[in-house]
Structure 1
Amino acid sequence: MIGDDPVILRLTLTGLVSAALLTAQTAPVRADAGDFIAGAIVGAIVNHSAKQQPRRVYKKKTYVAKKKTYRPSIPATQEGRQIQTSLNYFGFNAGSVDGQLGRKSKAAVSAYQAFMNYPVTGQLTDFEKDFLFDSYYKATANSAVTASLIAQSPHGAKGLLLVYRDDLTGGTTAIAGHYGLPAVIAASVNEIAKSSDPSAEQLVQRSGFIQLSDINGDGQTDYVIDTSVTGSAFWCNAQSCAVRVFASTPEGYQRNDFQAFNVTPAMFACVRGNCTKTEGGTQLAAVHVAPAPAPGLPQVIEAAAPAMPVPSAQPVVANPQAAVAAAPALPTFLGGGGAETSLASHCNKVSLVTNSNGGFTRVASMSDPDFALSEQFCLARTYAIETSEEMIASIQGFTSDQIAQQCRGLAPAMQTQVAALSLKGQDEVTREVAAFILSAGMSPAQLKGTARICLGVGYRTDDMDVALASSLLLYALGQEVYGEILGHHLHEGIGTAQRTDAAMTWYAKGLSALESGAEPAFAPGQPERLGLLQAAVAAVAGGGAVAAPIPAAAPAAGLPTFALSD
C-alpha cells in the first residue's frame, strides 16, 4: 500500500503534482477533471497525514468540594459536671470533668445502670441521678467510714452504691460482722441505725451505745445495746427505751429484749443465754456510767463532771423531790403542757416517705411544698451533725460526751435570745444576739467554730435549744446562710412557736445569701437545692403577725470553748 511507505508516498506525490502541472499546460479543456483528480488525491493524502499525527487528548478535570460536617457542640452544665464527678468517684470512667455529657459519659452512665440493675439507656432518670448524687455526698462526708466499707467490699467503691441502696430499701448488702463486732451484733446495729438518724458507724462510736461485760460468767464477752443514746424517739416510749442484751452460748449469741433507761451491765443477770433484769436495777439509771474502755486505752475520769441531761428524744426520769424546791409556776390547765416535737422523730418519718417516693422532691415534680421544706430541713440537720462530728474528731483532750455536755451550756446562756425568735422580728433578735456575742469574751472565729460544733451536737441529741442558740450565733456572726435553718424551725414549729410569717423573713435572708454566692452550709454539692428552696418557700409564704415582748434577759451562763481554728 502506498500509504504504508513514506518514501513511496513522497515520490508519488511529486509525480502527481508534476503531471497535474503538465496537464494544465497542454490540455486546458481537461482542467476541470484534472483539478478534481488532483484535489481528490491531495485531500486524501492530507487527510491520511493528519490521521498519522498524534492526537492531543484533553482530559476534563472534575473538582469536588469537600463537604464540611458541622457537629453541634454539647453544652457544659453544672449538673453534667456533678454527674461526671460522681460517676468517676464510683469507678465508672466518665472522662474529664467538663460538664459535657458526650459518648464517654453516656458509656459510664450505662455501666452504672448495668451495675445497679437499672434499664441500660445511657440516660439517667431523675431517681437514678438523685441516688447517684446522694450516694456521692454520703461517701465523701465521712472518709474514714467510707474507706472501711470500700476495703471490705469485693466491688471496691462501686460496692458503696449497693450498701446505700439497701439502706433505703431495707436490704442486707451492708457487710455483717464489721465494726469489729460479731456478725449478729453488727446486724442488730444495722437494724437500729435504719430507724435512727446516725449511721451505724457513728452509733458504735457513741459512749454507752454498746457496753461489754461477762454477764453470765462463762469467760466470753456479752454485749448490751442501749438505744437511748441514739437520740431517736423511734426506740423509746415515755418511760424507757429498747435494750438488747446478747449473751454468749456455745451455739452463738442469744438475744434478750428489755425496756429500760440508762442501762449498765450490772442491771442484768444471765444464765447461759437467758437473761433477766435485776430487781431495783432501774434505780441506778440516774447515774450515767460510761462503758469500760478497751484494753490499752487511757481511761478518762469524769466523776467531777455534772450529770448530763437526757435528750428530749429519750425518756425522762422524774425526780419527785425536785418539785419541792421549784419556784412558783404559772397556772396551767392542760396537763403537763405536752412534750415538744422531736426533730429526730420528725425526720425519721420524713425519711420513710422520701424513700417510698423514690428520692428527694425535685422542683419539676414538687406537689407538696411543705413536705419539700421538711426534706431539706432534715437534710440540713444531717449535714450539721456530720460536720460537727468531723470537727469533734480533730479536738484533742476532750471526749465526745464532754463536748456535748459543754454545748448544753448554750441553752441557759441564750435562753432569752432563743425565746425571742418566736416573738420578735428578725432585726431585733439579731441585735440581741450580737450584744450577747460582744459580752461573751470570745473571738468571733472561736465562737463560730464552737457554734458549728454545738449545732450538730444539738441535733444529734435532739436538744433544740442548743441547736437554735448555735444557729443564732452563726447568723449574727455574718453567716446569713443559717437563716434557712431558723426559717425551718419556725415553719415546722420545732423548738419554737410555729410562725410561718416569721419563717419567711429568715428564709429570705438565708436564700438571698446563697443566691449572692455565699458558701452553702448544707449540701454544698447540690446547686439545684437553692431553686427548690426558693420555689417551696414562695409556695407557702404567709402573712405577718405582731410580736410580743419577753421578760428581761437573765444572767448568761458560761459558754463552751474548744481549741480549734476556723
Structure 2
Amino acid sequence: MLKRNICASFVIASTVVVGAGRAQANDATSLIGGAILGGIIVNEVNKNKQRQQQQQQQLLQQQRNTTVQRSSVSSSQREANRQVQQALNYFGYNVGTADGVLGSNSRSGIRRYQADMGYSVDGYLDPHERDFLLNSHQRAMAGGNVAPYNQIVATQGYAGLLRTYRNEQLGIATPGTQTAASAVPMPVPAPTQPEPVSTRADTASTALPTFGVSAAQKSMRDQCDQVNVRTAANGGLSAPGKITDPAFALNEQFCLARMQAMSDTTRIEATIPNMSQGQIETQCDGLAQAIAPQIVAIDSAPAAQVIDATRAFLDASGQPLDQLVASGKVCLGAGYRADNAEMALASAVLLSAAGQGGYAEMVSHQLRDGFGAQVASPQVAASWMQVALSSSPVLGQTPERLAVLKATSGGIVPVFPTASGN
C-alpha cells in the first residue's frame, strides 16, 4: 500500500496530466504514463529528427543548385566541410583530400566516426557530432603530445585519443590526468585514557556503541574508473582468444556498454529542447519506482520470470512500445551517469521486457556485481546473459564484443563435473 501511495504521488507531480477517472480505472496506465517521460522525449526526438532531415534535404538541394555559381555562403560552407575532413583525417577516419566537398569518401569516414563514438550512423553530422569532432581536433593539436595523451596515441592511435576525449565528456576519468596527492602521514594524537565507566553488575556482555552509519554503497563509476586504469596498463581491452581473466574481461565489457548507454542518452537529450538533465533524471526516478515491484525478487528469480512479469505490467499500461523503448534508453544512460544502480537496472529490465533483449547484458553485469540488487547473484546473472546473447545486438555489441561475452559468460557460474559424466 505504501508503494502504491508513493507511485500515486509521483503521478500527481508528473508533468503528464492523467484524468482522474482514467487513473482510477486503470492504475497501471496512469502510473506508467506519469513515470516514463509522458512521451515528451519520443515526440521531441521525432520532431527534431524530421527537422534535421528537412534541413539536410534543403542543404543538398542548395548544393546541387549552386554547382556553377559560387556565393560567399557556399565558400564558407566549403571551408566548414574542409575543417571536418581535416579532423576526420587526423583521427584516422581517412576521407582523402580535404577539398571541402563531402562526397562518398567523406560520408564513409563520418559513418566510421559515428559508429566509433556510439552516435546514430547515417553519414551526416548533427551539430553536437560536428562540434565534438572539431573541438577535439583543436584540443589534440594543442595538447595531444603531452602525457598521458601521448601514451594513448602511441598504444591506440589518434582514434583512441578521440575515444578518450569522449569518455572524459561522459565523466570517465583518464588515468594520469588527475595525479593523486602523496599520502602524508597525519600526526597521530596520543592515546587518551578513557574515563572510568561504571558498569551494571548484571551486564552479561559489553555493549558496543552503534552510530547508525550506513554501509557504503558500491559505485559503478568507481569500478569502471579502476577497470579503465588496469585496461590502459594492459595496453588495451581483453581480446577474444587471449582472455586470461574472465571476470575482468566481463567488467571491461560492462564499462564499455555503460559508456555507450550514457552516450546514447547524451545524444538523445541534445535533441530535447524543453527538458533539462535534472528534469529527465527526476522522471527516470519515477520510472525506477514504477518498475521496482516487478523486480523485487530479481536477485533470485530466473530472467524469464522477471521479464514476463514486467512485460505484463507494460502491456497493462497501454503505452506505445516505441515510447517505452525510448524512455528506457534515456533512463538507462541517465542512471549510469548519476551512478544510480537502481535506475539503471530498472531501465535495462524495462528494455528487455519491451523486446530489446540485448539490454539484458546490463542486467547480467549488474546482478553479477550486485549493483542495484540486494545481493550479487552470479547464477541469475547467467540467465540474463543468455537472453542477451540470443537477441539482436545493442549498445555497440560488435562481433568482437559478443565473442568476448560468449567466451567469458561461461565463467559466471562455476561448472562442476557430475558423477554420471553426462
User: TM-score with structure 1 length normalisation?
Assistant: 0.41
Q: Structure 1 stretch 366-375 or stretch 416-425: which is displaced more?
A: 416-425
Equivalence for 1:148? 131
The whole-number CA distance in structure 2 between the counterparts of 1:359 and 1:533 is 16
Residue 404 of structure 1 aligns with an amino acid whose one-letter code is E
Partner of 1:509: 387
- Write the deviation string for residues 437-471 of structure 1: whole angstroms up to 9, x where unpaired: 12324211111111111111111101111111111
Q: Does 1:433 align with 2:416?
A: no
Query: In the alignment, is the contact (CA less than 8 A) between 2:260 and 2:395 conserved in 1?
Result: yes
Change (3 A) 1:492 1:334: farther
Residue-by-residue CA offset, 1:6-61 (whole Å, 9 max, x unaligned): xxxxxxxxxxxxxxxxxxxxxxxxxxxxxxxxxxxxxxxxxxxxxxxxxxxxxxxx
One-letter identity of the residue aligned with 1:488: H
Q: Rate the CA distance shift 1:136–1:351 in 2: closer, same or farther, 3 A.
A: same
Superimposed CA distance per residue, residues 543-565 of structure 1 (whole angstroms, 9 cap, x where no aligned partner): 69xxxxxxxxxxxxxxxxxxxxx
- Partners of 1:139 and 1:451 lie apart in 2 by 17
CA gap 1:145/1:462 in 2 versus in 1, 3 angstroms:
same
What are the equivalent positions in structure 2 for 1:384-463 lying under 5 Å apart? 384-463=261-340
1:153–1:406 CA distance, 2 compared to 1 (3 A) = closer
Is 1:495 matched with 2:393? no
Query: Aligned partners of 2:341, 2:91: CA distance in 1, in Å?
Result: 36
* Number of residue pairs aligned between Structure 1 and Structure 2: 268
User: Is 1:540 aligned to 2:412, yes or no?
Assistant: yes
Q: Which amino acid aligns with 1:90?
A: G
Identity over aligned pairs, percent: 28
Offset, 1:391: 1.1
Residue 503 of structure 1 aligns with an amino acid whose one-letter code is: A
1:137 aligns with 2:15: no
- Please give the secondary structure, in 1, of the residue aligned with 2:235: coil
Q: Following superposition of structure 1 onto structure 2, how do residues 329-408 of structure 1 map, counting pairs within 5 Å?
A: 336-408=213-285
Provide the C-alpha distance between the structure 1 equivalents of 2:273 and 2:218, rounded to a whole number of angstroms: 34
Normalised by the length of structure 2, the TM-score is 0.54
Contact persistence 2:172–2:225 (CA under 8 A): no
Pair 347,163 (structure 1): closer, same or farther in 2 beyond 3 Å = farther
Answer yes or no: is the 8 Å Cα contact 2:291–2:350 preserved in 1.
no
Q: Secondary structure at the match of 1:363?
A: coil
Instruction: Give the gaps of 5 or more residues in structure 1.
Output: 1-85, 96-132, 172-193, 203-229, 235-332, 545-566
Which residue among 394, 397, 402 is the counterpart of 1:521? 394
Q: Indicate conservation of the 8 Å contact 1:360/1:375, yes or no.
A: yes
Residue 199, structure 1, aligned to residue 204, structure 2? no
> Does residue 1:90 correspond to 2:59, yes or no?
no
> What code does the residue aligned with 1:360 have?
L
Residues 335 and 341, structure 2, Cα contact 8 Å, conserved in 1: yes
Change in 2 beyond 3 A, CA 1:152/1:423: closer
- Residues 125-167 of structure 1 show CA distances to partners (whole Å, capped at 9, x for unaligned) of xxxxxxxx999713857964553355457789x9699489955
- Partners of 1:197 and 1:342 lie apart in 2 by 21
CA apart distance, 1:89: 7.1
1:197·1:348 contact (CA, 8 Å) conserved in 2?
no
Using CA pairs under 8 Å that are at least 6 residues apart, name the structure with larger relative contact order, 1 or 2: 2
* Contact 1:418 1:465 (C-alpha < 8 Å) held by counterparts: no
Report matched runs for 1:18-417 at 5 Å. 90=92, 92=94, 137-138=116-117, 144=127, 147-148=130-131, 150-151=133-134, 162=144, 166-167=148-149, 169=151, 199-200=168-169, 336-417=213-294
Tell me, yes or no, if the aligned pair for 1:487 and 1:507 is still in contact at 8 Å.
Answer: yes
Structure with greater Cα Rg? 1
1:352–1:539 distance in 2 versus 1, CA, 3 Å: same
Question: How big is the alpha-carbon RMSD for the aligned residues of Structure 1 and Structure 2?
Answer: 4.1
Shift of 1:527: 2.0
1:364 Cα offset (Å): 2.5
Give the Cα separation in 2 of the matches to 1:164 and 1:419. 49
- Deviations 1:266-319 (Å, cap 9, x if unpaired)? xxxxxxxxxxxxxxxxxxxxxxxxxxxxxxxxxxxxxxxxxxxxxxxxxxxxxx
**CA drift at 1:378:** 0.6
Q: 1:93 to 1:405 in 2, by over 3 A?
A: closer
CA offset at residue 363 of structure 1? 1.5
Between the aligned partners of 2:368 and 2:232, the Cα distance in structure 1 is 23
Alignment CA distance shift 1:372-1:94 (3 Å): farther
Residues 154, 463 of structure 1: CA spacing in aligned structure 2 closer, same or farther, 3 A cutoff? closer
Residue pair 1:89, 1:136 contacting (<8 A) in 2 also: no
Write 1 or 2 for the structure with the bigger share of helix.
2
C-alpha contact (below 8 Å) 2:93/2:113 kept by paired residues: no
Q: Unpaired segments of 5 or more residues in structure 2?
A: 1-87, 98-111, 154-163, 176-209, 417-422
| 1-structure distance, mates of 2:221, 2:150 | 17
What is the rounded CA distance, in whole Å, between the counterparts of 1:495 and 1:408 in structure 2? 13
Residues 357 and 401 (structure 1), Cα distance of their counterparts in 2 relative to 1, 3 Å cut: same
For the 8 Å contact 2:117–2:166, the answer to whether it is kept is: no
Amino acid at match of 1:535: A
Aligned residue type for 2:395: F
**Mapped contact 1:411–1:466 kept (Cα < 8 A):** yes
Given that residues 288 and 347 in structure 2 are in contact (C-alpha distance below 8 angstroms), is that contact kept between their aligned partners in structure 1? no
Cα offset, 1:405, TM superposition: 1.0
1:363 to 1:441, Cα distance in 2 relative to 1, 3 A: same
Of 454, 465, 475, the match for 2:352: 475
The amino acid across from 1:137 in the alignment is D
Q: Quick one: distance in 1 between partners of 2:96 and 2:413?
A: 41
* AA of the residue aligned to 1:356: A
Query: 1-side partners of 2:301 and 2:95: how far apart?
Result: 53
Aligned-pair CA distance for 1:418: 2.9
8 Å CA contact 1:411–1:469 kept in 2: the answer is yes
Task: Output the CA distance in 2 between the equivalents of 1:492 and 1:528.
Answer: 23
* One-letter amino acid matched to 1:199: E
C-alpha separation in 1, matches of 2:150 and 2:370: 28
